[in-house]
Amino acid sequence: MKLAVAGKGGAGKTTFSATASRLIARAGHPVLAIDADTNPNLHAALGISTEAVQRVPFPPTTLVSRSFDGPALNEPLDVVLDRHTVDAADGVRLLRMGMPEHADEGCLCSAHAVVSALLSDLDHKVDTVTMIDMEASPEHLSRGTAREAHTLLLVAEPYFRSLEAAKLQAKLAKETAIARVVVLANKCRTDADFDGIAEFCANHDLDLIGRIPWGDEVLDADAASTPLIDFAPESAVVTAIEEVCSVLVPPPPLVGQVR
């Protein structure tokens, strides 16, 4: 399963992606977390030091060739993952897309193409859950970076600009092959916050699948440079994310079960 997480900047995409990745791994799934943001910081939310990720190179653009079907890897997927992933807690593997190294170096089209090619090849890893933390713009949809995802999860805060961003990205996603588009209400301080998001989703035919409450522990964990799941494992926020994961990701097959 490939799950892309998107939404307006600051909506909570990275906190959700990191926490959900580790919870899903604890449930028994192999998990690959992809930081598809050109300002990558998923590693910190997963508990990986900057020094550790800097020792592993970004996937080079030479990994990808163009075809009529879109970008494709020209090296075996397992080789790419072995060279360019970093191990995180609970068995999660992290791969980072890339970032600009200098000013005026041009667009990052080729970095997006690498992610798209990886996602295409990951169809062969049927047991793996791939969590893609997207950047805060609709660019991943206009470039087709997220087109190989099975589900697009739009994280929305209870205010108009965040909801409008979710509506726009849901509209664009419907023009792609993404099978399922859902909305997650985040940072809800009151029932009225959630009710406002629910009303917006109902008015715009958006599938609202869950609610995450506001939690000061999210800010405290960030200030302490500690993953939320380690800083406050029993918090209402972590519990809510776990509930969302149970809706999005089926349990792994039992050992010896016919798949």
The verdict on domain 2-248 having CATH code 3.40.50.970 is no
CA 121 to chain centre: 17
Tokens 């406050």 — which residue? 232
Enter the tokens of residue 221.
């964990």
CA distance 253 to 191: 36
Tokens 């990558």 — which residue? 40
Give me the pLDDT at residue 39, please. Answer: 81
Give me the pLDDT at residue 253, please. Answer: 72
Give me the pLDDT at residue 258, please. Answer: 44
HEC per residue, 35-74: EECCCCCHHHHHCCCHHHHHCCCCCCHHHEECCCCCCEEC
Is the Cβ–Cβ distance between 70 and 116 less than 8 Å? Answer: yes
Is the Cβ–Cβ distance between 221 and 231 less than 8 Å? Answer: yes
Could you tell me the end-to-end alpha-carbon distance of the chain, in angstroms, rounded to an integer? 14
Q: Which residue stretches of 49-208 are H helix?
A: 50-54, 77-84, 109-121, 139-142, 160-173, 191-203
Give me the pLDDT at residue 19, please. Answer: 98
Give, for all 259 residues of the chain, the pLDDT tens digit: 999 999 998 999 999 999 999 999 999 999 999 999 878 899 999 999 999 999 998 888 788 877 656 677 888 999 999 999 999 999 999 999 866 564 555 556 667 777 888 888 888 888 999 999 998 877 777 666 777 889 999 999 999 999 999 999 999 998 888 999 999 999 999 999 999 999 999 999 999 999 999 999 999 999 999 999 999 999 999 999 999 999 999 887 765 544 4
Enter the tokens of residue 71.
């970008």
CA distance 82 to 34: 14
Q: Give which of 37, 30, 219, 38 is closest to 129, Cα–Cα.
A: 30
Give me the pLDDT at residue 68, please. Answer: 59
Could you give the C-alpha distances from 21 to 24, 91, 223, in angstroms and in order?
5, 10, 21
pTM of the prediction?
A: 0.90
Tokens 């926490």 — which residue? 19
Element (H, E) at 3: strand 2-7
